[in-house]
Amino acid sequence: MDPMDAGMRYTPKSSGKDLEQTVQFLPATDSKKLEKKKGPGKVGVIVGVVVSSCVLALMTGLLVWHFHFRNIKVKMYSGSLNITNQEFKDAYEDSSSPEFQALAKQVASQLREIYSRTPKLSKYYVDSTVQAFSQGSVIAYYLSEFRVPGSQEDAVDNIMGNMSESKSQRRLTDPQGSLLFNSVETSAVDSRMFVKSTTKRFLARTKPNLATVIESPGFPNYQYPPNALMQWQIRADPNNVIKLDFSTFNLERNCTNDFVKVYDSLAAIESRIMAEKCGNYDPNHFLGFISSGNVMLVTLVTNEEGDFPGFRALATQVVKGSRDVTCGGILTGNSGTFTSPNYPKYYPPLTKCEWNIQVASNMNVKLLFSKFMMLKGDPQCQKDYVQVNGEKLCGELTNTVRTSNTNQMTVIFYSDASFVDRGFNATFTAFEPTNPCPGKFQCKSTRCISLDLRCDGWNDCGDSSDERNCKCDSTMISCRNGLCKPMFWKCDGIDDCGDGTDEINCASCKAGEFVCGNGKCISEKQKCDRQNDCGDNSDEAGCGRATPCTESNYLCKNGQCLTKQNPECDGVKDCEDGSDEDCGDCGTRPYKTSRIVGGQDAAEGEWPWQVSLHIKNSIHVCGASLISNQWLVTAAHCVQDEVKVKLSQPGSWEVYLGLHNQKQLDKAEKRYLKQVIPHPNYNEYTFDNDIALMELDQPVNFKDTIRPICLPSASYNFPAGKEVWITGWGATREGGAGATVLQKAAVRIINSTVCNELMTGQITSRMTCAGILQGGVDACQGDSGGPLSSLGTGRLFLAGVVSWGDGCARRNKPGIYTTVPKFRAWIKEKTGV
């Protein structure tokens, strides 16, 4: 007997009474809040509310379709079809109108008719409901429900999937007249949208010069509802597209639990998804979308746990074909810049445009993509792509160049129906075919770079062609493969040459000898013999027994001694009393450090312990790091008295926490100082012991943009070669112009023996050297006193304090940092932290 015919029949309409089920008006817009934003001069909201019993019934069905009955699965398919022989009526926007219900009934009966022609479908089909209509001629959005035995699931998926492919017009006979339709799209509903105890639907309508705010319930004062499915159906006038820009986006980081999906449709049809997002984005990340038609759907799905504020976005409409949303055209002149539509926000789906570049007849065209993001993970460029002279480009590229052999170049941008990305920013220039890089060096990729970047040890071309066939000078390692590398990358455990030349002859120990942590060689036999043969006890570490505690061992609160390296705050309880994991909130950052659009700018909240020290009522002069709710670490040289300002006095300072942009001080927390404690052994000639402590006049409350960094214990080891980060606004003590937005750069710890040679013996054991990883024009400069942040197991530690040297300003010159572990005991003594 067919299990379908046995037992109880599943009826979506009779269940789920206890489930919350709402369709809501959007709250009226607070026009004051909106005036602060860029965009249309006038904003407001037009909101409709539609409650239809059939929609409700189906939505309720959606809530309970997880019920399995004798291995029968309830499957939901979301779809749309284009009814070509009907005119759109305003009443179709209101699902309670007789017009809506009449047409919905017709669509449902025709869907039944379609499914009835395929035996597999007709056997399992339950019902369909129309959720909405939109213009174009009339697009119907529906949900179709099936009850499928587990074994037949794939077969049904397959047939439903193939329905989308039938492009031809179909006419169906129906007692009430026939509908003609095309462009059927169907896909299974995302299973993570099931089993939610709360479902809310919001309807939003944009008009010319009127926009609507879309925000998660409770934003920004309360967390969004748990275990819920929320949907925002956004409509614009016909012949318009919708721009949706998120000003805040703060969800749980794990997309399995909470996520937002944006669709280029009024229903959650997966073949029309634009993006799925979770985690935290700040306004710098330009999270914004644009639809291909006059509808858009935003869904928010949440699970039980989590405490996150959610999102706020502004939806506006833009007339199709207006300058904001068109792309392509004819470009002339010697040079110019163009971008994908909506750049640096996400480009619209279903878009194709063509640029024709024409330069003077004796010149050729060179095109540089400075930013290029066209969907990762599609090597064949089958979805979205940019085509240059017939060659398709997609994925993520940096500084990619293409040239033409003539004075013309054609660039085509193409996006398909689903998944969008940020697109590209391209610059074209005309060049003489005989002299492609006047006054510059031409990379193999045909990109031009400044001549002094040739043979300087840094890969500026991206393909290393500026570093081939070089004669290395004495400050460089001559790699056997012909590359030159800065001397300070020698013997740091990382193969910089690519052929290992910089890492040979490093450890001078012979075979059968043990290399101590301090570089000394001892016989293997002396390892674990309970004698401290190395001198630093490294030969007795990790021997599986308790060892006497030395400088390189971690000391627990209860006196236990650990041989494990850097055991603190790594998520593993190593001390019996757990004191190594007593870390609080330190070194974590709530903001995602995702892809950056625009140079070396840090993301807002990426370095929440970064502090800006201003001379009172004056400019930023130094950086500092927050180590508790009341204490900062900075450099001693920042707090030396000057002729005019007594910087050693707490009253000379004002302090900004949670600051991102020096021009937006009002957004930061301001504090004054109670105390300034420079290290008593600071030497202003050698910069030895260049560290100072500052106590705030009032404690700060930690929040997303204000958090302390973890202090490393005295035994913490930051090995040579480790990647660390320097951050700052780039102001110098001499008052040089700094950056407005916080800058960041990756640097690498340099072997101190090597560094000391390079810096002619000026490096003490209380100093750490680090240098930039990648050469580049955008190199940043950290502020004196600011943090050198190092990622441990999940948390960031304060490896150093910016002290002297060139930071990352000059290539080949290391920056010198105060070694924080050396001062751990002093910090504890003075601050209790």
Ligand X SMILES: *[C@@H]1O[C@H](CO)[C@@H](O)[C@H](O)[C@H]1NC(C)=O
Catalytic annotation, residues:
637, 690, 784
Q: Which of 183, 358, 408, 588 binds ligand X (CB under 6 A)?
A: 183
The distance of Cα 400 from the centroid of its chain, to the nearest Å, equals: 22
List 460, 568, 690, 783, residue binding Ca ion (CB under 5 A) = 460
Q: Name which of 735 and 761 has its Cβ closer to ligand X.
A: 761
**Neighbour count for residue 64 (Cβ, 10 Å):** 16
Q: Which letter does DSSP use for residue 207 in this model?
A: B
Can residue 334 be called a binding residue for ligand X (CB under 6 A)?
no
If contact means CB under 5 to 8 A according to the sort of partner, which of Ca ion, ligand X, none does residue 453 touch?
Ca ion
Q: Is 441 in the site for Ca ion (CB under 5 A)?
A: no
Examine residue 159 and tell whether it contacts ligand X (CB under 6 A): yes
Query: CA 701: distance to chain centroid?
Result: 26
Q: How far is the CB of 28 from ligand X (least distance, A)?
A: 31
Instruction: Give dist(CA 724, CA 718) in Å, integer.
Output: 9
In this structure, what is the dihedral angle of CA atoms 802, 807, 813, 819, given to the nearest 10 degrees?
20
> C-beta of 665: minimal distance to Ca ion in Å?
38
**Shorter beta-carbon distance to ligand X: residue 615 or 773:** 773
Residue 756 binding target from ligand X, Ca ion, none, CB below 5 to 8 Å by type: none
Stretch that binds ligand X, among 156-164, 213-221, 374-382, 634-642 (CB under 6 A): 156-164
| Tally of CB atoms within 10 A around 49 | 14
Between 458 and 702, name the residue whose CB sits nearer to Ca ion: 458
Interface positions, 511-530, toward ligand X (CB under 6 A) = 519
Q: Does 458 bind Ca ion (CB under 5 A)?
A: yes
Contact at 8 Å (CB) between 131 and 145? no
Helix (H) / strand (E) element for 486: namely: strand 484-486
**Is 754 a binder of Ca ion (CB under 5 A)?**
no
Closest approach of Cβ 515 to Ca ion, in Å? 16
Joined together, the tokens standing for residue 215 give 């925000």
Between CA 181 and CA 447 the distance in angstroms is 51
184 part of the interface to Ca ion, by CB under 5 A = no
- Comparing CA positions, the residue from 232, 194, 188 lying closest to residue 78 is 188
Under rule CB under 6 A, residue 434 binds ligand X:
no
796 binds ligand X (CB under 6 A): no
Q: By CB under 6 A, tell whether 226 contacts ligand X.
A: no
Q: Among 650, 551, 564, 602, which Cα is nearest to 787's?
A: 602
- Using alpha carbons, select from 797, 816, 798 the residue that is nearest to residue 806: 816
CB of 181 to ligand X, least distance (A): 8
Q: Which of 215, 421, 496, 604 is close enough to bind Ca ion by CB under 5 A?
A: 496
398 binds ligand X (CB under 6 A): no
Task: Annotate each residue in 269-288 with x if it binds ligand X (CB under 6 A) or - if it does not, as one string.
Answer: --------------------
* Longest Cα–Cα distance in the chain: 98
CB-nearer residue toward Ca ion: 368 or 742: 368
Query: Distance of alpha carbon 512 from its chain centroid, rounded?
Result: 48
Binding pattern to Ca ion, positions 190-209, x when CB under 5 A? --------------------
Closer CB to ligand X, 422 or 671, in the complex: 422
Q: Which of 47, 195, 275, 506 binds ligand X (CB under 6 A)?
A: 506
Q: What does the radius of gyration of the chain's CA atoms come to, in whole angstroms?
A: 32
Report the alpha-carbon distance of residue 707 to residue 624 in Å, rounded.
13
Q: Is 425 a residue that touches ligand X (CB under 6 A)? A: yes
CA 538 → CA 243, 501, 583, distances in Å? 61, 27, 26
* Stretch in the footprint of Ca ion (CB under 5 A) among 145-153, 176-184, 450-458, 570-578: 450-458
Residue among 491, 633, 659, 742 that touches ligand X (CB under 6 A): 491
Select the span of 250-258, 533-541, 550-558, 762-770 touching ligand X (CB under 6 A): 250-258
Residue 44 contact among ligand X, Ca ion, none, beta carbon within 5 to 8 Å by kind:
none
> Which of residues 54, 59, 121, 139 is near ligand X by CB under 6 A?
139
Which CB contacts under 8 angstroms, 24+ apart, belong to 439-444?
A: 441/466, 443/401
Nearest to 441 by CA among 430, 433, 452, 426: 452
Contacts of 71 by beta carbon, 8 Å cutoff, 6+ apart: 3, 149, 150
Ranges within 564-623 binding ligand X (CB under 6 A): none
- Alpha-carbon distance of 394 to 397, in angstroms, equals 8
Q: Is 3 left (phi over 0), alpha (psi -120 to 50) or beta?
A: alpha
Query: Least distance (Å) from ligand X to the CB of residue 720?
Result: 5
Give, in order, the Cα–Cα distances in Å from 191 to each of 63, 152, 255.
Answer: 11, 17, 13
Contact flag: residue 492 with Ca ion (CB under 5 A):
yes
The one among 139, 179, 230, 453 contacting Ca ion by CB under 5 A: 453
Question: With CB under 6 A as the contact rule, which of the stretches 335-343, 352-360, 659-667, 688-696 interacts with ligand X?
Answer: 335-343
Q: Is 343 in the site for ligand X (CB under 6 A)?
A: yes
Nearest CA-CA partner of 632 in 661, 671, 605: 671
Cβ partners under 8 Å of residue 63, min gap 6: 16, 19, 21, 194, 195, 196, 197, 199
Q: Which is nearer to ligand X, 425 or 625 (CB)?
A: 425
Please report how close the Cβ of residue 749 comes to Ca ion at its closest, in angstroms.
11
Q: Which of 264, 466, 606, 688 binds Ca ion (CB under 5 A)?
A: 466
DSSP percent split of the chain into helix, strand, coil, nearest 5: 15, 35, 50
Listed ranges 260-268, 338-346, 610-618, 735-743: which one lies at the site for ligand X (CB under 6 A) = 338-346
- By CB under 6 A, which span of 59-67, 154-162, 549-557, 576-584 interacts with ligand X? 154-162
Which of the ranges 319-327, 336-344, 439-447, 649-657 carries the binding residues for ligand X, by CB under 6 A?
Answer: 336-344
Q: Where are the beta strands (DSSP E) in 166-272?
A: 170-171, 180-188, 198-205, 212-215, 228-235, 240-250, 259-263
CA distance 649 to 615: 11
Nearer to ligand X, 133 or 607 (CB): 133
The closest alpha carbon to 502, from 315, 309, 750, belongs to 750
Q: Which does 339 bind (CB under 5 to 8 A by kind): Ca ion, ligand X, none?
A: ligand X
Residue 800 CB, nearest approach to Ca ion (Å): 20
Phi/psi region, residue 310 (left: phi>0; alpha: psi -120 to 50; beta: rest), is left
Told to check if 502 binds Ca ion by CB under 5 A, we report yes
Interaction of residue 245 with Ca ion, rule CB under 5 A: no
CB under 5 to 8 A by kind: which of ligand X, Ca ion, none does 533 bind? none
> Per CB under 6 A, does 168 bind ligand X?
no
Q: What is the DSSP string of 37-92?
A: SSS-SS---B------HHHHHHHHHHHHTT--BTTEEEEEEEEEEEETT----GGG
Question: Taking CB within 5 to 8 Å according to partner kind, which of Ca ion, ligand X, none is near residue 136?
Answer: ligand X
337 near ligand X (CB under 6 A): yes
Smallest distance, Å, CB 139 to ligand X? Answer: 6
Binding interface with Ca ion (CB under 5 A): 453, 456, 458, 460, 466, 489, 492, 494, 496, 502
Binding interface with ligand X (CB under 6 A): 82, 84, 136-137, 139, 158-159, 162, 182-183, 254, 256-257, 337, 339, 343-344, 370, 425, 427, 491, 506, 519, 720, 751, 753-754
